[in-house]
Amino acid sequence: MTGAKAKPHEAPTVRVALLGCGNVGSALAEILLTRQDDIAARTGIHLELVAIAVADPSRPRSALIPGALICTGAAELVARPDVDVVVEVIGGLHPAHELIGAALRAGKPVVTANKALLAVSGAELADVASASGVDLLYEAAVGGAIPVIRPLRESLAGEQIVRVMGIVNGTTNFILTRMEEDGCSYEVALAEAQDLGLAERDPSADVGGHDAAAKAAILAALAFGSDVVDADVHREGITALSSADVAYANHLGYAVKLLAVAELIDGGPEISVRVHPAMVPRAHPLASVRGAFNAVFVEGAVSGELMLYGRGAGGGPTASAMLGDLVDASRNLRAGAPAPAPKRTSATIRAQTEMRSAFYLSMDVADRPGVLAAVAKIFGDHNVSIRAMEQVGLAEEARLIFLTHVAREGDLLATIDELRMHQAVDRVSGVLRVIGEEGHEA
């Protein structure tokens, strides 16, 4: 192996360059510096951290990281002959894209957790890695410490995956859990998440579903071997959810979760890839995923239902997943056999309006005779069949809660458009898909 030192009677050394030294980078550097011997005993590989490239070397860092390891030229570091493997934890598209590309072209495996980059350029970078015969591994890009990518790529390699549904954003799951458990508003729950450091000052990447959409694209690419990019993902966030809707959903026996879904339609080749809040039945394993935890639920044709659960973010958990990749990449580098990269084909994505689901709707209407009949007629005119209706609130205004049978999403949207124009309807607010009813005709 190029550049690796194999000492007799010792674990062979693989030399690691780290690009970036934020939260995750520091955690990984500390593990590599303090647990080198444990890791060698456990894995047979001696991982030696040779340098850490950072943008600003003057920033204070962990006392466990010697200043001599810090350097500034990431591109030069990647090219150094005494670097065997590269770990990228800079994040963002540039210069991460160029650095990863350069490392792979130089025959150096890359470990990254850069979901934004992978969701845009994953297929291209996988091709570069494949052409160089080295690994591009990214277990930490979805679900932090949870083994998700490797099971999809290896354990289920021979399986036909039918659907993947994930709670892949801890910030939104924390907010939704708080709204459900304490009945607080979205704004109050968000402020609490920000105080705890679980949400950014500008929370839009999380609450708007962008982060989950990038992960949905990665999951779809792995599950179905399709070239899915994040622009392909139908995306709805949680900002429009009211605590009242979360409470009604709860009362009806459901938890509200922001789901990233990738599914094969009618055996394929069409797929659907989407992110939206959904009502998940209490008995479903995803309903019990609370707070900042993540989980990915996988349905295979033969394996049945699987769920992988754990901490989806944080320096330690993310670093732990990257360490697993680093060991894997190092072993594969020494063996000269990279991890298998499934062939990708172009994806055929079904339009969201053609998708079928049961829906929950809440609307505020004038509380006078005839209104319900008028509203019900609008549903019927658009082929949306009502499974249950409940009136809540007793003032002049009434709130109506509807659960529909499985309906075409385009028909439901047309129903909402017409409801909004009706003089007795003040507001159509919560619209949630109901999990557990898809595909089953009413």
- Is residue 94 near a second copy by the rule CB under 8 A? no
**Window 102-141: contact mask with a second copy (x via CB under 8 A):** -------------------------------------x--
What b/e string do you get for 199-212 counting C-beta neighbours within 10 Å, with b at 16 or more? beeebebbbbbbbb
* Shortest distance in whole angstroms from residue 161 CB to a second copy: 10
Tokens encoding 359: 């829906």
Q: Is 219 helix (H, G, I), strand (E, B) or coil?
A: helix
Q: Are 147 and 294 in contact (CB under 8 A)?
A: no
For a second copy, give the closer residue by CB, 333 or 406. 333
Say how far apart CA 200 and CA 193 lie, in whole Å: 9
Question: Burial level of 419, CB count in 10 A (0-12/13-18/19+)?
Answer: buried
Choose among 156, 266, 270, 257: nearest CA to 212: 257
Q: Which residue among 232, 300, 329, 400 contacts a second copy (CB under 8 A)?
A: 300
CA distance readout (Å), 222 to 85, 154, 156, 345: 23, 10, 10, 11
Active site residue 115: no
Sites for a second copy among residues 24-53 (CB under 8 A)? 27, 31, 35, 38-39, 41-44, 47
* Shortest distance in whole angstroms from residue 214 CB to a second copy: 21
Sites for a second copy among residues 149-168 (CB under 8 A)? 150-151, 154-160
**Window 252-291: contact mask with a second copy (x via CB under 8 A):** -------------------------------x-x--x-x-
Q: Which residue among 107, 183, 340, 393 contacts a second copy (CB under 8 A)?
A: 340
Q: Which residue among 225, 239, 376, 414 contacts a second copy (CB under 8 A)?
A: 225
- Is residue 424 near a second copy by the rule CB under 8 A? no
* Shortest distance in whole angstroms from residue 42 CB to a second copy: 6
What b/e string do you get for 287-304 counting C-beta neighbours within 10 Å, with b at 16 or more? bebeebbbbbbbbbeeee
Q: What are phi and psi of 293, to 5 degrees?
A: -70, 155
Angle, in degrees to the nearest 10, between helices 115-132 and 210-224: 30
Q: Which stretch binds a second copy (CB under 8 A): 95-103, 196-204, 321-329, 400-408?
A: 321-329
Q: What are phi and psi of 401, to 5 degrees?
A: -110, 125
The torsion defined by the Cα of 248, 252, 254 and 256, in degrees rounded to 10, comes to: -20
* Shortest distance in whole angstroms from residue 52 CB to a second copy: 18
For a second copy, give the closer residue by CB, 35 or 97. 35
Q: Which stretch binds a second copy (CB under 8 A): 195-203, 272-280, 316-324, 358-366?
A: 316-324
Q: Bridge partners of 392? A: 399
Number of residues in contact with a second copy, rule: CB under 8 A?
A: 58
Q: Which stretch binds a second copy (CB under 8 A): 79-87, 320-328, 403-411, 434-442?
A: 320-328
For a second copy, give the closer residue by CB, 318 or 357. 318
Q: Are 28 and 89 in contact (CB under 8 A)?
A: yes
Question: Burial level of 135, CB count in 10 A (0-12/13-18/19+)?
Answer: buried
Q: Are strands 407-408 and 356-366 parallel, antiparallel or unpaired?
A: antiparallel
Q: Compute the Cα dihedral for 51, 56, 58, 63 and give only its sign.
A: negative
Q: Which stretch binds a second copy (CB under 8 A): 148-156, 165-173, 347-355, 422-430?
A: 148-156
For a second copy, give the closer residue by CB, 311 or 399. 311
Sites for a second copy among residues 181-220 (CB under 8 A)? none
Choose among 90, 64, 61, 60: nearest CA to 77: 90
Q: Which residue among 84, 310, 363, 434 contacts a second copy (CB under 8 A)?
A: 310
- Is residue 309 near a second copy by the rule CB under 8 A? yes
Say how far apart CA 429 and CA 348 lie, in whole Å: 32
For a second copy, give the closer residue by CB, 145 or 401. 145
Catalytic residues: 215
Contact positions vs a second copy (CB under 8 A): 27, 31, 35, 38-39, 41-44, 47, 139, 145-147, 150-151, 154-160, 225, 283, 285, 288, 290, 300, 302-311, 314, 316-317, 319-321, 323-324, 326-328, 331-332, 335-337, 340, 342-343
